[in-house]
Amino acid sequence: MSLQQAEQLIEAAAAYLAAVEKNWAQACATDGQISVSKMDENQQLGYDLSWAEALIFGAREMLSYPTRVGKGAGSQEEKLALFFIAEALYDIYNRFKIHSLQYGQSAADYDQVFQAPALLSFVAQYSHAQYAVGIAGGLAENKDFGLYGLNEDQQMMMETFRSFAEERVRPIAEKVHREDLTIPQDIISALAEMGCFGLSIPDTYGGFQSEENPDNTSMAVVTEELSRGSVGVAGSLITRPEIVSKAILAGGTSEQKGYWLPKFASGELLCAVAVTEPDFGSDVAGIKVSATKVEGGWRINGTKTWCTFAGKANVLLVLARTNPDMSLKHKGLSILLAEKPVTDAHSFDFKQPEGGRISGRAIATIGYRGMHSYEVVFEDYFVPDANLVGGNDGLGKGFYLQMAGFAGGRLQTAARATGVMQAAMEKALQYSLERKVFGQPIFNYGLTKLKLAKMAAITQTVRQMTYRSAKLMDKHEGSMEASLVKFYSCRVAEWVTREAMQIHGGMGYAEEYEVSRLFVDARVFSIFEGAEEVLALRVIARSLLEKALK
């Protein structure tokens, strides 16, 4: 009955949000189209709607979660579900107190949904600290974080890569982080042998993704487990080949697919993505790095930044302006595959026989070390015609091909966030049981139990949202869901890792404890693969309004 009640409350909140979106869409419409400038007059509403829709997505997934994994009333899975749903409804309730008075929604509309005795009673019962005690007890006694809901093959992959992360990744994670080292080649080679780099590439091209029965969930599982060991040493290694491979699959020629994809799948070639520029990040339409046509190919000039893994990569996916007419904006962009020598160094400088030059330097960062993000400078760097993705048919389509890869990248980022949260939660639980304050383990205190319960509920919710998005991607759907889970997971990962540090007290601030690394690693998630604010305002909120306007 509790889950049935939860369903009614979730759908009432969803209907309320839909009404707000419809009214706001009409206010932002110009000639039947959504005006971004009008949207920007109330960015807070756009952000909060995006956040609320992410919470609704998570609540719906947790509503079906206990049944989906075969657990019933009183189970840890049901407790996690009810706790998260109550927290989500309370969050939406607080965010929309003021918004309810805007764009046609009256205080009465708001009160009917959020001030209803049923909702307040539900929130009071299931988000209460005393309810969290039961969840925390399961964590402490049985390490019961809730079933994942994987099939047999996916479970085997989880166990295989968890063992790898425990035995090979975690033992070196702190050293790589503290000394700002590059990922050891033996880690890359071992993961290549395990087929990691081919998880997003169709079996037709030597990968492990079935074209007839795609399984993006397995890729998410592997990403999570490697990130649980270290997102900088292993968790991000398979993101770049997915982004590059998806772009080639979406618009590459048959020759390009046949040449590049098997090499990426085997790990023979490692790749990186060069899209962001010093003055243009999310505003891709303003990109200025140019590719000028010359005999036999193109010469690239300009500077790219935040090019992660550029040193170790053999190939860079470069989004460049092949048409100098800036009025074309993103329609003047194309993708070229620029090959380069490999280095472990924090800087490089290579000259081509043709006279071109490529140089780079690693950007010092507080976390996410091992991968290293570079600023890369191209000076008349030559790329042959064969490396223009899509050939002549790919001219002007670079932005669209790049976006085809980024949807999967967002999904992987959610999986990376899940792995980091899981690691932080496990460390916090272990420390809370061992550390005594005022004569008893800090786990015994109510606030600690409440924090741990919330960590567990959030982490499991993000995991289930990620799996749902992956299943939709199997059907070539789920772009919105991937954006929602990326947006939500990256923000809450900061909270989970922050609270894990707080439970450690002063030792959480010491580098010798893993949680300090997890915290600074989590901070990057809200920035890469689509900055939090841009994702909320330009992708999610805009899509919601466009849908509401129809």
Cα-Cα end-to-end distance for the chain: 36
Candidates 92, 114, 109; CA nearest to 23 is 109
Query: From the centroid of its chain, how far is CA 195?
Result: 22
Q: How far is CA 479 from the centre of its chain?
A: 12
CA distance linking residue 501 with residue 504, whole number of Å: 5
Known catalytic residue at 426: no
User: Identity (one letter) of the amino acid at 14?
Assistant: A
Active-site residue, selected from the candidate residues 529, 532, 533, 546: 529
CA angle 320, 323, 325 (to 5 degrees): 120
Instruction: Please list, in sequence order, all residues whose beta carbon lies within 8 angstroms of the beta carbon of residue 67, skipping any fewer than 6 positions away.
Output: none
Per DSSP, the three-state class of 441 is strand
DSSP 8-state secondary structure symbol assigned to residue 72? -
Q: Which residues contact 248 (CB under 8 A, 6 or more apart)?
A: 256, 257, 260, 261, 389
Pairing of strands 290-294, 297-308: antiparallel
Question: CA-CA distance, 490 to 130, in Å (whole number)?
Answer: 28
Q: Within its chain, how far is the Cα of 423 from the centroid? A: 16
3-state secondary structure 208-244: CECCCCCCHHHHHHHHHHHHHHCHHHHHCCCHHHHHH
Crossing angle (nearest 10°) for helices 254-266 and 239-251 = 170
Q: Output the DSSP codes for 313-382.
A: -SEEEEEEESS--GGGGGGGEEEEEEE-----SSEEEEE-TTS-EEEEEEPP-SS-TTT-EEEEEEEEEE
Given a contact cutoff of 8 angstroms between Cβ atoms, the answer to whether 273 and 243 are in contact is yes
Cα 46 to Cα 16: distance, rounded to the nearest angstrom: 15
Q: Name the residues annotated as catalytic.
A: 529
